[in-house]
Chains A and B, each alone.
Chain A
Amino acid sequence: MNFKIDDELRKRLAGIRELGRTQIRPLGLEADRAGKPVDPDHPFYALLLKLGLGRTRWLGGELDAEQDATRSRVGSPPSGGERGHKAGPSLTGVLLSEELAYWDRGVAVSFPGPGLGEPPVLSMGTPEQKERFLARFREPDRPRWGSFAMTEPGAGSDVAAIRTSCKRDGDHWILDGDKSFAANASRADWIVVWATADTSLGRAGHRAFVVERDTPGLGDFKIEKKMGLKAYESTSFTLRHCRVPASHLLGGEATYSNQDGSRGAKRAGFKGALQSFNATRPMIGAMAVGIGRAALDEAAAFAREHDLGSDPRVRDRLERTRRKLRVARLLCWRAAWLADQQQPNIVEASMAKAHAPAAALDATLLGMELLGEVGARGDHLIEKLFRDVKAMDIVEGTGQIQHIVIARQLVGLPRE
């Protein structure tokens, strides 16, 4: 057992700290004041590309088969599993996510790259599809984005209830429906869109399509106004008789057909989505820890500047806040470590996701309390963090959904 971060990763974290201090946090504050996302043409994104970010983790070509073979069952990125010297990809992702979110979670989500669209393409896509959609992210000529759209106006946590339809029409599929709150959708090269071929089948009817930006019928992009996290766009859009080439159905028809009669094959479409969630839950938890940590640091700084250090009431609450965040961080680390070991992490990932946002919200609430009326002015970083953090308990499965997921495992809570 070991809780030490290796030197290579420490170097990367130190790099993010510097970038965070000089670029990410100022940009986040600027976007918050302006009330709109950072412009896609902002030089910061070009700088990220220069720094080697904004890329796919897909290795491409001949390395693809190897990558497939080493991929974790729970959808974690490749080449994990080795114990001891180096952090696996999930753990690395969790650590970097925490540090990025510490500086600004909104800006972090706006980073170029295939984003949440990447896991389903990696886990379900054919080699041709990976080439078509991910190759451009290997050495991108300019900042490029991918996006992921599951949520609809009437289907959030209950993903089985999505209504966006897909109907086969010769060499194409026709998509119709409304999608909500997709990160970076209006600036994306393509969006992984989840649709249903038959609403009566629930999850078994789901299909994932990669819809390219200029596809006719894709439109009505509306960048939503949010309470916080204003630096990235959460975008709603519509699909109106949107004709998508059949070759853009992720994994091809066979992935979804019931040819071997197994339940697993039947539910592959939905499982593709779940896999990406499973890998990202600890990362969302870690982002919450990052936001909470920022609030803790600001609150401690405020206490220092106002000579509250000797007040046990202040000290005890700061201690409790740090303790809950530390628990949250360890829960995230454990879930990610399990993913890297290719061990099931359903319960652990949900625990991380259930605990961290609540702990982080508490940190911001305490910060506001210490600030008092200064917090109510609306111009202090803690006030922004207080607005930013709430989303962490909502995205990628609310805290309540995580409880249901855990309870299914612990006591077999029935689905009905």
Chain B
Amino acid sequence: MIDFALDPELELLRETARSFAQHRLRPHDRDFETARGVDVATRDAFTEIGLAALEWPEALGGAGLGALARALVLEELGAADAGAALTLDPLGPAFYALAECGEAAALQAIAQPLLERPGSRAVLAWNGVARVALRNGRATGVLPWLPADRVDLLVLLDGDAVAVIDEGIALAPLRGAGLRAAGASELRLDGAPVRAWWVNPRGARRALARARLYAASLLLGVMRAAAGFSRDYALQRVAFGKPIAHHQALAFLITDMAMAVDGSRLLVHEAAVRLDRGGDAEEACATAFLEAAEQAMFVTPNAVQILGGHGFMQDYPVEKWMREARALGLCFGGVDGAREDAGRGIVAAHAPLGLLEAQP
């Protein structure tokens, strides 16, 4: 039956992630941004508490946890430093494409080595607009931006297929609009050999869905942080004789921001539970991503707004959260790609939101 309580082990996991994020990431977010990466001690701590291999199969030495666990952890990491979260996760959403299409053998052969080399990065990219041409086992093209300064493994979602490339990857560093702690590069392929090529429509769709949920969970964390920080600021800052939070224009805005965060979270959790039950979750994940991306674009600019001039300055984190939210919403085909998948069946459906039809 409908139940909003978390199992105790997931509660514990969330607390662990929150503690790590708030103590190890949040105080150093500007350092990570400048350094375009996290320090070795932080990375070691992340690996040690088991967050690097969260969804990695138990049979291969991972924790074997599911989408809900990942969503909970990513919200916490995103609330501290979404860029650091990306660089700390050696496989990131690339894991989904490998697991859904390549299965255990691919995981072992292709992904395992990355887990064993600290600092490695596998990156998932969406090739929906055919920026990379794949012909005769070779890949050629340019990806204008990836949040990485190092790419050991490029996994391309190419329609019904997944392409894996680990040679011939050329990176040119970029400043990056956001997520700079993860790095920022233009990626060029000039006839790079395709190491693996799997045609698997269902697997590819599911990988994309899981990647969207990954981004949505980070977005959720970013907007939660922005909403909470700006609310606290509004309680401290006095204007016209009272805390600005007590002027109704701001009180209502803060209320709407809190609702935006809560609503986005509910969609993320519902989609995660669907994924964990093994059901059809593409529409739910695309929907959760859309909502998170849209609401983050409402919440984070308004967080800057609430801080006024201070919000615009880099002494406060809100401008960073605004940039990171924007960048995250552009990943994996962005909101327009998600709209395609979220809305695909809606006109054909006779009860697109029926209580008896819409069962996770």
Chain A residues close to B by CB (< 8 Å): 1-6, 9-10, 13-14, 17, 83-87, 91, 95, 98-99, 293, 296-297, 300-301, 303-304, 308-309, 312, 314-316, 318-319, 322-323, 325-327, 329-331, 333-334, 337-338, 341, 347-348, 351, 354-355, 403-404, 406-407, 410-414
Contact = CB atoms under 8 A, between A and B. Distances in A.
Contacts of B349: 300
Nearest to B3: A2
A322 B352 contact: yes
B118 interface: no
B262 interface: yes
Contacts of A411: 231, 234-235, 243, 245-246, 251, 254
B353 A326 contact: yes
B68 A331 contact: no
A1 B5 contact: yes
B360 interface: yes
Nearest to A302: B347
4 closest residue pairs by CB, A with B? A319-B343, A309-B347, A330-B266, A411-B245
Contacts of A10: 356
B255 A330 contact: no
B254 to A, nearest CB: 6
Interface in B85-120: none
Contact of A1 (B4, B259, B264, B290): B4
A3 B352 contact: no
Contacts, number: 169
A318 B231 CA distance: 33
A304 B348 contact: yes
A319 B1 contact: no
Given A3-B270, A347-B258, 4 more contacts: A14-B356, A297-B353, A351-B262, A414-B246
Nearest to B338: A319
A17 B287 contact: no
Given A13-B356, A316-B343, A351 B259 contact: yes
25 contacts: A1-B5, A1-B6, A1-B7, A1-B68, A1-B273, A5-B355, A6-B1, A83-B5, A87-B2, A98-B355, A293-B354, A303-B347, A312-B339, A314-B347, A316-B339, A319-B342, A326-B270, A331-B262, A351-B262, A355-B259, A410-B231, A410-B251, A410-B254, A410-B255, A413-B246
B351 interface: yes
B234 A355 contact: no
Contacts of A406: 255, 258-259
A334 B4 contact: yes
A275 B16 CA distance: 37
Given A5-B1, A326-B287, A411-B234, A315 B343 contact: yes
A318 B344 CA distance: 10
Interface string B119-157: 000000000000000000000000000000000000000
